[in-house]
Structure 1
């Protein structure tokens, strides 16, 4: 039963990619002869066309994945069972998430590589664009702080992943040098990168690294932000793109061995099938839909698509593979995580964190890997936290430069890193983190509003994006209202105020959409 269910879900994802993905490519008007911003605005730093679409796919996929498609499915399964999560993953990914990612990438390509916030300013209103950019900026600051804190904690608690994760930095520089300077063929450079990556995994397991200081958390956070500072400024083809490309093979490997483990022998789906209300988390609707984001639909993806990916795409014909395809693959990853948890639920001790639950489930599914399975799971997770950290820092720098017209990228990045480091070191991010899920999904809803405005102004049927936008805005506002009531009852007035601001922002965007009818195609 579990094997047939898993294969059936994969079949739906594949069908969605070929049928709905192809439909969207035609609907939006993909033109392989059109010059992309990466070529038209080439600057050797941010606007750099990828030599091969696979390299950019690796960057995009590694950046959007992060910890989301692992932690979200674990929580959704534990709180509400597997059925609701599976339905949301399949329908959300195919008809909303992949549309959201592809559309935000495509309209950024057509708008000279501008961010989704700048596009909102042009096609909705200046007020909407400005408020959206402010909202995106602070959301990214929170993401950067949280991912740095999570990564630091992982390095402290699991010292065997340190060498495996940080060692990829010089490997990525080597691979970038081979591809872009020595012009080595992609297959050869990839094999070199994979060889060193595998060697690092074995070396990391054998030689765990600890800092040996009284306050390792502070030192790790500082080191991570030093890395993020330089990684977000230097040209993308030196570190960011090759690092994400090589890192993506870790995730491909994890997906492949998990697939084999799931279909190689039947496992029972343990735990509840469907729970409408969880005493700890709340009702399935709307809370599950903001908890299980990555894998279904996530607003952060639009920031990557319009922030870095659109500036590196060499040909529009690859927009579906990267924008739509990466989201579908993330849906597959989230589904695999669900099955890992389902198979291991009965053997998980109480008090385990989401990452520990995932690693235990992965080790049970990949039983043939023995003791290395749990370690590989942790390496995969931490590697993608790092990729999201440097990508988010670069995108935040773009947005800050757009907002304040800063020409000095070093200064802009320094300000971002300083604010995020303060939140991470003082652990202030924990205060507002309960609202992150809703804020992230509000970004998705607002992005789809912007896409709707763009389509309307281009004379296309905008409802293809507007209906998903309404669904996401409704889900998010419902969740925010529930949270606002909960925060008020607990007398947490700071979070009450933030929730109220987010509710107003979502409502304001819908109100401003009426201005789109006044738009004239230039």
Structure 2
């Protein structure tokens, strides 16, 4: 429990919840069904679903001694429901760690494609520079934390100096790129998140997330001004609506609400809010700024990602999709619009990639810390080193091992990194956790005498539960008894069990009221 000023905690929370979700999800959705469905779900979901989810789970936590959302489920539903919820969360976090480590490694080895006439004519290596910049700003964060928290130096003065140094790291990184093989980065990143998750928050987590948030603010503000200056100069070729079925035969409903998670609503946010953020909140009134405010910021990032697809739609977009660089479209979008400020496109691209890398790194080590907390709640093992080690074994296997995945309807198989084998089920899992978190908040409100407000978390909970359970059933029908199909079925059954426990809790409450 280390209270932090609201601006510092906002930076930590925003950096931790963002990840790659508000970038990759909207890009995929807009290019699949058109920009209008993606835009509408981001706006409506962000304000009425995600903001409510994030702030209510944070407030529920601080009203219950900063306990996690799953522990609150144990208190107000049943111990059985809490245990199942914790198990579901822990398994989901292990997958988050594996995915984000792999994506971070890819940004450190990224090459930015240069597209001419719809074809990639060359690729500029920028990943090594991004890696160097990331290493520098992590070192700067440790120094910043020591100055502000240990030596009690002025937060404003330290911020002014260190933000300049962080931006300088972007330039220095491109001069001295750090190039390592993918597996070397995987090992380094696993070791990094292990250390970061057991280190006191004031040494690394708070200051690193706070400083990295200025990279994210810079990307949002820089690209945002560029978008305003580009009016009348950039033409969009992306249709507003491309039909109820994507080119890959994926239905708009329910998949739109699963593909776009971060930016609209994401279960991972309730884990961060009730896991680390609630233990750093200085006063309850800061929950509005931190919980709801960070979600609004993430919505802006998501809307910008849709705009990037609109601006790059056509041959350039199709060429960028073929790149091995997962952040190519985001980097190209940042570079394109920052160019309207007089910033060279390659510099803007590198800056965009570093911002994306920052999103991913902060979410990864926060996810590892959360996995450690949940493991302790599940097992009672309080040794942080054992809990962290146990929570990193499966992610390490998912990162390094290969898996032969049968292709539905065909006799052939494709070889994938193990983490990719479970990728189709991840979006639904994340949204399922959001539905369960809202359900727990609803039960908490009802059982603590605020029954008239049940609909605030209740309506989003019901909507997300129906959507995600439908998605999981569709996945099971498609993949049958494969790894993906079994994972989807198990998660759907566990979720139904938790909802059933909630119904029993409400029934008991009603009987007690009638009895009294």
Q: CA RMSD in A?
A: 1.4
Correspondence for 1:111 among 64, 68, 78: 64
Whole-Å separation in 2 of the counterparts to 1:514 and 1:505 = 14
User: Could you say which residue in structure 2 is the equivalent of 1:273?
Assistant: 240
User: Could you say which residue in structure 1 is the equivalent of 2:3?
Assistant: 49
Could you tell me which runs of 5 or more consecutive residues in structure 2 were left unpaired when the two chains were aligned. 111-126, 402-416
Shift of residue 357, structure 1, vs aligned partner? 1.3
Whole-Å separation in 2 of the counterparts to 1:354 and 1:141 = 21
CA-to-partner distance for each residue in 1:180-220, whole Å, 9 max, x for gaps? 11111111111222122112100111221113xxxx22221
Correspondence for 2:27 among 58, 67, 74: 74
Whole-Å separation in 2 of the counterparts to 1:69 and 1:166 = 24
Q: Which runs of 4+ in 1 moved over 6 A?
A: none
Is 1:196 aligned to residue 165 of structure 2? yes
User: Could you say which residue in structure 2 is the equivalent of 1:6?
Assistant: none
Is 1:468 aligned to residue 460 of structure 2? yes
Q: Does the 8 Å CA contact 1:281/1:287 hold for their aligned counterparts?
A: no
Is 1:97 aligned to residue 50 of structure 2? yes
Correspondence for 1:487 among 479, 487, 491: 479
Task: Give the number of equivalent residue pairs.
Answer: 467
1:110/1:338 Cα in 2 relative to 1: closer, same or farther (>3 Å)?
Answer: same
Shift of residue 495, structure 1, vs aligned partner? 1.8
1:168/1:300 Cα in 2 relative to 1: closer, same or farther (>3 Å)?
Answer: same
Q: Does the 8 Å CA contact 1:348/1:360 hold for their aligned counterparts?
A: no
Correspondence for 1:336 among 304, 307, 315: 304
User: Could you say which residue in structure 1 is the equivalent of 2:435?
Assistant: 445
User: Could you say which residue in structure 2 is the equivalent of 1:379?
Assistant: 354
Q: Does the 8 Å CA contact 1:449/1:509 hold for their aligned counterparts?
A: no
Q: Could you say what secondary structure the match of 1:282 adopts?
A: coil
Whole-Å separation in 1 of the counterparts to 2:422 and 2:499 = 25
Q: Return the TM-score normalized by structure 2.
A: 0.88
User: Could you say which residue in structure 1 is the equivalent of 2:123?
Assistant: none
User: Could you say which residue in structure 2 is the equivalent of 1:366?
Assistant: 338
CA-to-partner distance for each residue in 1:225-262, whole Å, 9 max, x for gaps? 11111111111011000000000000100110111111
Q: Return the TM-score normalized by structure 1.
A: 0.87
Correspondence for 2:183 among 212, 218, 221: 218
1:441/1:204 Cα in 2 relative to 1: closer, same or farther (>3 Å)?
Answer: same
Is 1:417 aligned to residue 392 of structure 2? yes
Whole-Å separation in 2 of the counterparts to 1:254 and 1:80 = 26
Whole-Å separation in 2 of the counterparts to 1:195 and 1:418 = 38
Could you tell me which runs of 5 or more consecutive residues in structure 1 were left unpaired when the two chains were aligned. 1-46
Is 1:177 aligned to residue 146 of structure 2? yes
Shift of residue 54, structure 1, vs aligned partner? 0.4
Q: Does the 8 Å CA contact 2:334/2:352 hold for their aligned counterparts?
A: yes
Whole-Å separation in 2 of the counterparts to 1:330 and 1:396 = 23
Shift of residue 222, structure 1, vs aligned partner? 1.2
Correspondence for 2:208 among 243, 246, 268: 243
CA-to-partner distance for each residue in 1:343-362, whole Å, 9 max, x for gaps? 12133343135511121122
Shift of residue 281, structure 1, vs aligned partner? 5.5
Q: Does the 8 Å CA contact 2:266/2:434 hold for their aligned counterparts?
A: yes
Q: Could you say what secondary structure the match of 1:167 adopts?
A: helix
Is 1:321 aligned to residue 281 of structure 2? no
Whole-Å separation in 1 of the counterparts to 2:8 and 2:398 = 33
Shift of residue 265, structure 1, vs aligned partner? 2.5
Is 1:455 aligned to residue 425 of structure 2? no
Is 1:84 aligned to residue 84 of structure 2? no
Whole-Å separation in 1 of the counterparts to 2:109 and 2:484 = 30
Whole-Å separation in 1 of the counterparts to 2:326 and 2:361 = 18
Whole-Å separation in 2 of the counterparts to 1:312 and 1:79 = 39
Correspondence for 1:429 among 419, 422, 429: 419
User: Could you say which residue in structure 2 is the equivalent of 1:161?
Assistant: 130
Is 1:500 aligned to residue 500 of structure 2? no
Whole-Å separation in 2 of the counterparts to 1:253 and 1:356 = 18
Whole-Å separation in 1 of the counterparts to 2:249 and 2:332 = 23
